[in-house]
Amino acid sequence: MKISDLKAFKQSGEKITCLTAYDASFAKMFDQCSVDVILVGDSLGNVIQGGENTLGVTMEDMIYHTQSVSKSIQDALLIADMPYQSYDSAEQTLENAQRLIDAGAQMVKFEGGREHEASFEILQANGVPVCGHLGLQPQSVIEMGGYKVQGRDDESAKRIIDDALALESWGVQTLVLECVPAELAKKVSQAISIPTIGIGAGVDCDGQVLVSYDMLGINTGHMPKFVKNFLKGNSDIQGAVNAFIDAVKNQSFPGDEHSY
Ligand code: KIV
């Protein structure tokens, strides 16, 4: 998938599939199964490093894993997360985003809305493709009081919609929506022309992402409601990945039991 395909998918109604990967072997398999987007997520702080949250992940960690993943993929679009405190100022954002692009990412993702205006604008001015991330922001888990569904009341729902519109105006090319009510995710998806990729955000997003370890049932920690173990009923990892892709494309995932 190319960056320009993102909008085309949204326009045609074809759902975008995305899985996280942190190493060459998983990334190669996901790519060969034709996952559209591979995300080197800072969720590696949980599933690879065993941390309680993602706050301990460094730029060096992200560069190492992005390099590993980028070596083995041919077709999938590669997005890399900017870790905690790596985009506190505009100049720092540009420098660190460039390091991830040099490591092989085609797009960088970071969490937050209008409070990061300067960071979005400097990346737009320098032609660095960006994926936004609104709703639950794991890097702000302490400020948010835990891993909670966001946008349940009118005021916070409006903030998410207004943030999404602002991000689009700053050239953001796709937007992850994490843990928001399905109805709100639908409204956001209809309000902007760039695709939304949901995780715990209902079936009306323009695509779906899961942490690969979660969808393979190998996360031994807390399993959020939105996770489905696709290895159940499939005999190998390729079967599970193909089942995830089919379920996203035919919109049977996420059903109501996996949505808020
Ligand atoms: O870090 C990550 O894996 C993510 C996804 C949960 C979207 O940001």
The CATH number linked to 12 is 3.20.20.60
Cβ-contact 251, 241 below 8 angstroms: no
Instruction: Identify the CA nearest to 4 among candidates 235, 194, 138, 240.
Output: 194
**What confidence category does residue 219 fall into, taking pLDDT thresholds of 50, 70 and 90?**
confident
State pLDDT tens for residues 38-92. 999 999 999 999 999 999 999 999 999 999 999 999 999 999 999 999 999 999 9
Top mutation candidate among 110, 137, 211, 219 for ligand 1, by most atoms within 8 Å of CB = 211
User: From atom 3 of ligand 1, which residue's Cα is the shortest distance away?
Assistant: 41
The structure's pTM equals 0.98
Phi/psi for 141 (5° steps) reads -60, -30
pLDDT tens string 160-216: 999 999 999 999 999 999 999 999 999 999 999 999 999 999 999 999 999 999 999
Q: What is the mean pLDDT of residues 6-22?
A: 97
Q: Containing domain of residue 67, as a range?
A: 3-258
42 lines ligand 1 (CB under 6 A): yes
Q: Using the mean position of ligand 1's atoms as its centre, give its distance from the Cα of residue 209 in Å.
A: 8
Residue from 20, 48, 53 whose mutation best tests the ligand 1 pocket (most atoms within 8 A of CB):
20
What is the distance in A from the centroid of ligand 1 to the CA of 41? 5
> Comparing C-alpha atoms, which of 105, 83, 79 is closest to residue 92?
83
Query: What integer pLDDT is reported at residue 223 of this predicted model?
Result: 83
Residue 255 confidence (pLDDT) above 90 = yes
As for how many domains the chain has, the answer is: 1
197-220-208 Cα angle (round to 5): 10
- Cβ-contact 130, 121 below 8 angstroms: no
**Which residue has a Cα nearest atom 2 of ligand 1?**
41
209 lines ligand 1 (CB under 6 A): yes
Give per-residue pLDDT as tens, 96-133: 999 999 999 999 999 999 999 999 999 999 999 999 99
Exposure pattern of 85-119 as b/e (b: 16+ CB <10 Å)? Answer: ebbeebebbbebbebbbebbbbbbbbbbbeebeeb
Least confident of 143-152, 195-204, 215-224: 215-224
pLDDT at 252: 97
Inter-residue contact 86 to 59 (CB < 8 Å): yes
pLDDT tens digits for range 223-242: 899 999 999 999 999 999 99
The amino acid at 46: N
User: How sure is the predictor about 220, in pLDDT bands with cuts at 50, 70 and 90?
Assistant: low
Cβ(194)–Cβ(4) under 8 Å?
no
Backbone angles phi, psi at 223, to 5 degrees: -105, 110
